[in-house]
Every structure is written in C-alpha cells, then in structure tokens.
C-alpha cells in the first residue's frame, strides 16, 4: 500500500528500496504503540523519514543512532564512497549535516532524536524499552554483532527486530547481517514475521 511521506524520498541519499521503506513504515506504525523505535545506521535519513513519519502517528519518537563517519564501504577509495559527504577540512566522512537537513526539510524534528555516537557507546547506559530496533549499521561481522548484542535485548515482548541487507547467498552481498539474523532466530527469543527483499522482520517472543 502506498504511503504519503513529507519529503521526496528519492532525493535522500541511501540504499533502502522503496518497498523496504514502506514495510518499515507499517512496522513502525504498529511498534511505536509499544515503545519508541530505534535505528542503527541513519546515514542521510532515508530510513529515518519512513520511521519518524510512522512514529508521528502515535506521537512517539525514533532514536537515530549513527556516528556519521561512514561505514567501511563509505570511506575514500571504497565502493560506496560519496565525495559529497566527505569533509575536506576534517578529512573524514560526515553525513550528519545532510541527515539533519533532510529531517528538517521533512518537518520531522519533533519525532527524531539523533544520537551521534558509535552504537556500542550509545548503548552503554541505555535503559529505555523499545518497540522496534532496525539494524542497518556497519556490515563487518564485528559491527553487526555489536549492534545486535547492544540493542536486541531492549526490545519489549511483542516488539520487533528488523535487519537490513540480508543475503543468504554470499554471491549477492556481505554475510554479517544474515549472520545476526540467523543468530536471532536461533536464540528462541525471536520468531520470523516476514522478509521484504533484503529486510528481515522478526518479533520478540
């Protein structure tokens, strides 16, 4: 089902397919009734807009966790490097300015809480129960495992865990997101709801 977003989502840099974003929107619309939503890996805010637009329906918020220095694949010389997001002065990637501008343009600032920090540091003293955790951060095994271990334990019973870029076939993409997806299912704490392209959606039992 088509949804109405407050911004042209095609204008936001990112790697989330439209039907994956719409699935996130519908998921967040339900999950935000259970608690706030949280995403790991906001980049320029494409997924954040889907999530926050849904959270607005229940006057809840999405915590957007990202250090905004780019994952491994975003660094200079790597496949997904975007020179427009490279801060020449600091000689570092910086997607936060672009992220903040997109959230402001979408008029969603009252429903988005940016947390500009590495995932593990942001989670260190976290105590807020969450209705949804969306993991789309770094794709190394260490980064994906850190995100899963840091945040999945805060999901309330009946809440949701969504993991992006699941590729069962190694020829199609990196395996770290698929590894934590399998780990979640094997834990007996989560059950599979559905998959939408590369987006896996699980429910906390």
Q: Kind and range of the H or E element at 101? A: helix 96-105
Structural contact between residues 103 and 49, judged by C-beta atoms closer than 8 angstroms: yes
Q: Strand 190-196: give its sheet, edge to edge.
A: 112-115, 62-65, 37-40, 130-135, 155-163, 199-204, 190-196
* Exposure string for 92-111, b = 16+ CB within 10 A, e = fewer: ebbbbebbbebbeebebeeb
Taking only the tens place, the pLDDT of each residue in 172-189 is 989 999 999 999 999 999
Structural contact between residues 201 and 160, judged by C-beta atoms closer than 8 angstroms: yes
Q: Is 139 a catalytic residue?
A: yes
Structural contact between residues 78 and 72, judged by C-beta atoms closer than 8 angstroms: yes
Q: What pLDDT, on a 0 to 100 scale, did the predictor assign at position 1? A: 52
| Domains delineated in the chain | 9-204 (3.40.50.150)
Catalytic residue selected from 67, 139, 154, 164: 139
Taking only the tens place, the pLDDT of each residue in 72-87 is 788 888 877 888 888 8
Q: Which residue ranges in the chain fall short of pLDDT 50? A: none
Pairing of strands 62-65, 112-115: parallel
Q: What pLDDT, on a 0 to 100 scale, did the predictor assign at position 75? A: 81
Q: State the CB neighbour count (10 A cutoff) for residue 165.
A: 24
DSSP 44: T
């Amino acid at each position: 089902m088509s949804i109405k977003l407050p911004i042209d989502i095609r204008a936001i840099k990112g790697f989330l397919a439209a039907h994956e974003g719409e699935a996130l929107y519908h998921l967040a619309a339900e999950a935000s009734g259970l608690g706030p939503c949280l995403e790991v890996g906001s980049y320029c805010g494409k997924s954040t807009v889907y999530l926050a637009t849904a959270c607005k329906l229940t006057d809840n918020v999405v915590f957007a966790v990202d250090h905004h220095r780019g994952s491994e694949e975003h660094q200079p010389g790597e496949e997904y490097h975007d020179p427009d997001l490279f801060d020449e002065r600091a000689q570092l990637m910086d997607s936060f300015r672009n992220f903040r501008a997109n959230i402001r343009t979408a008029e969603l600032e009252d429903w988005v809480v940016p947390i500009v920090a590495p995932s593990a540091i942001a989670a260190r003293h976290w105590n807020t129960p969450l209705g949804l955790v969306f993991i789309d951060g770094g794709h190394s095994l260490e980064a994906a495992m850190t995100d899963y271990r840091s945040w999945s334990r805060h999901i309330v019973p009946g809440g949701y865990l969504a993991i992006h870029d699941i590729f069962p076939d190694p020829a199609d993409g990196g395996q770290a997101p698929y590894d934590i997806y399998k780990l979640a299912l094997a834990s007996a704490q989560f059950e599979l709801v559905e998959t939408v392209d590369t987006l896996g959606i699980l429910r906390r039992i």
